[in-house]
Amino acid sequence: MLTGAPNLLANHNGFKIIYLRISTEELRQGAERQVIQRICKDDPTFRGLFIVSDQRPEELGTCQRQIKERRLKRMLLRRMRVGIEAVRTATERIAMLRIADNEESSIAAEELQSRHDKAFDVEAVTKQFFSEIANWYFWALKHSRFPKDAPKEKDGHDHVSVIRLITRLIFCWFIKEKG
């Protein structure tokens, strides 16, 4: 599954960043899961982040084991892809992990893990995404113009047309992402 041994990139008070190069042509969740499960089985107290790449390595991703869900039998991984077009969200989230100069030597692995959990919380990322969509909707509602026969609400705005436009743009973006 791996091309070479796991590579320890950083270790700060027990919070580790490990690079894994998977031997597949592209990143696959199953391959990542097997390798990370083995590492966490060997070290159940592992706290940190995995940077994973495919064989080429043209695609990178981050994986983090979710620790707070201990009652579940299946290990939960938070995954985020980083690439030429998928770097904005990951960059914003990683920036949230900034360690101040005065806390650099004293911050524990548990605190780093907690910050990482908050930064890559799926619900927070989803909430931010939908907040940005809502902001764009209200902006577009004020600035867009549609044909005269397009349906209008009682307030005179093109709510339905703007919603259709946004959903179609999102659909086109997903199709583009899927290739």
CB 30 within 8 A of CB 50: no
Low pLDDT (below 70) residues in the chain: 57-59, 66-76, 81-91, 97, 103-105
Name, in order, each residue with C-beta under 8 angstroms of 65's C-beta and a sequence gap of 6 or more: 36, 40, 46, 75, 76, 77
What's residue 8's pLDDT?
87
What's residue 148's pLDDT?
83
Q: How many residues does the chain have?
A: 179
CA distances from 52 to 83, 102, 136, 148, 156 (A): 12, 31, 33, 52, 51
CA distances from 119 to 57, 95, 130, 175 (A): 25, 9, 17, 27
What's residue 138's pLDDT?
92
What's residue 174's pLDDT?
83
